[in-house]
Amino acid sequence: MNAGRTARERARAELTEEIKTAARQQLATVGAEALSLRAISRELGMVSSALYRYFASRDELLTALIIDAYDALGAAAEAAPSGGDPVDDWIAVYAAVRDWARANPQEYALIYGSPISGYQAPQTTVQPASRVPLLLLGLLQRAQASGRLVTPPDAPSPSGALAQQTEVLVALAPDVPPAVLVRTVIVWTQLFGMLSFELFGQLVGSMDPADEFFASASRQMAAFVGLS
């Protein structure tokens, strides 16, 4: 539909991409909340008001960057080496997520740090945001099919409202037992809690550098959800 019809449209798409690239560069150096439209326009040799032809506001630019970041992280996680062994695959996903986060700390902070004040994330971000959890769920679903997922005996089956909330995940991975699905959410939060602590400097003084701790946690979390 919009595959570069007129010269105008092509130029517009190109410049939009250039703006995002410049914004990402500035993001990497000064951080998210210090991102300045004027600085971006200066970098591109244009005037600040011209940017508003491409992004209606600073928030809209941020939204585009957030979606791009989620997509980049999702792509990095999905590109993790998959050798077939569920535990190894699980650990590879963890490592890929960590590698991407360490390589793009500001973009990581953009999506998993504190929300930007006055900024409301639009619905458009939730689909790219769910790529990593979906990847983990798919991995568990396949492991279950191949008999490599053994529900831990001490994993309590959810009841009440928790069981109801788990239904959303059951629809995505129907063969994975609800008790494991709850644990999946637990380890999902653990993964990003661990990464945030490492990147935001909370581990300094204890588990920093975090390579070995991360490796141990990955493996223990794989066992925690029942992978073997």
Partner DNA sequence: ACAGAAACGAGAGCAGTGCTCTTGACAGTG
Partner DNA sequence: CACTGTCAAGAGCACTGCTCTCGTTTCTGT
Residue number with CB closer to a copy of itself (46 or 223): 223
Residue 173 beta carbon to a copy of itself: minimum distance, rounded to whole angstroms: 13
109 binds, among a copy of itself, DNA, none (CB under 5 to 8 A by kind): a copy of itself
- Work out the burial of residue 76: count CB atoms within 10 Å of its CB; fewer than 13 is exposed, 13-18 middle, 19 or more buried: buried
Q: d(Cα 127, Cα 67) in Å, to the nearest integer?
A: 9
Residue 186 beta carbon to a copy of itself: minimum distance, rounded to whole angstroms: 5
Q: d(Cα 153, Cα 141) in Å, to the nearest integer?
A: 18
Q: d(Cα 53, Cα 75) in Å, to the nearest integer?
A: 30
- Contact criterion met (CB below 8 Å) for 107 and 69: yes
Residue number with CB closer to DNA (44 or 134): 44
What phi, psi does 101 have (nearest 5°)? -65, -40
Residue 175 beta carbon to a copy of itself: minimum distance, rounded to whole angstroms: 19
Residue number with CB closer to DNA (87 or 116): 116
**Strand (E) positions, the chain?**
none
Residue 159 beta carbon to DNA: minimum distance, rounded to whole angstroms: 46
Instruction: Name the residues that contact DNA, by CB under 7 A.
Output: 5-9, 12, 15, 35-39, 45-50, 52-54, 57-59
84 binds, among a copy of itself, DNA, none (CB under 5 to 8 A by kind): none
